[in-house]
Chain A
């Protein structure tokens, strides 16, 4: 399962709801305002750090760049993907669950 989250963790509980329902073998991709969750030193990044060992976490780079955020700000271990990478993730997983 590929989970996507498109809401900022500062405005909505969507990211934490998603993390609570992630199973081993799944992956998490942060898109749109969801990318703010991967910035190091935030409560959301602590949640992500706790699952990084069992689930890869990806951030959609164009959404990060659009918001003036750079990779250097991100939680170590989080991987950047471009749109082609997004498509590869969708293909690599049996299903996608979009957390809105």
Chain B
């Protein structure tokens, strides 16, 4: 057994995790979060993108206990401890859903479609959830 964080730093790649699903209806959001934390433990350059229904993942005040699920929203606040600070949120997806980042659990950068497209194009690896 080895702990990822103990490995000698090797190649650093730019990883983008694209989140397009609301939390709790499917397992995508939670699985993405797990993989994000693993990538960060391997000292990779990690960014997160939230678009379409993925923006719902960042709302504060989730209470999934009544549907029998673990609340993983607090884990987004641990991302900073993992040196993950590049969280990009699609402006149009927010507007379409009547949301704004004041209701979010963590600070994010709101970007327009063109900026998001450029962020995606600049990655070595893109993983979609």
Q: Say yes or no for A69: interface residue by CB 8 A criterion.
A: no
Contact A21 B129 (CB under 8 A): no
Q: Say yes or no for B3: interface residue by CB 8 A criterion.
A: no
> How far does the alpha carbon of A73 sit from the alpha carbon of B54 in the complex, in Å?
34
Contact A26 B121 (CB under 8 A): yes
Contact B20 A17 (CB under 8 A): yes
Knowing A95-B124, A95-B125 are in contact, say whether A100-B117 is a contact too (CB < 8 A): no
* A70-100 Cβ-contact flags toward B at 8 Å (1 or 0): 0000000000000000000000001111111
Shortest Cβ distance from residue B122 to the other chain A in the assembled complex, whole angstroms? 10
Q: Say yes or no for B123: interface residue by CB 8 A criterion.
A: yes
Q: Say yes or no for B116: interface residue by CB 8 A criterion.
A: yes
Knowing A21-B117, A26-B121 are in contact, say whether A97-B52 is a contact too (CB < 8 A): no
Closest to A16 in B: B52
Known: A100-B28, A100-B128. 19 other contacts (CB 8 A): A1-B126, A17-B52, A20-B113, A21-B51, A21-B113, A21-B116, A21-B120, A23-B117, A23-B118, A23-B120, A26-B121, A95-B123, A95-B124, A95-B125, A95-B126, A96-B126, A97-B120, A98-B126, A100-B129
Chain A residues near B116 (CB-CB < 8 A): 21
Closest to B28 in A: A100
**B residues 20-37 with Cβ under 8 Å of A?**
20-21, 28
**A residues 14-38 with Cβ under 8 Å of B?**
14, 17, 20-23, 26
Knowing A13-B52, A100-B20, A100-B129 are in contact, say whether A94-B124 is a contact too (CB < 8 A): yes
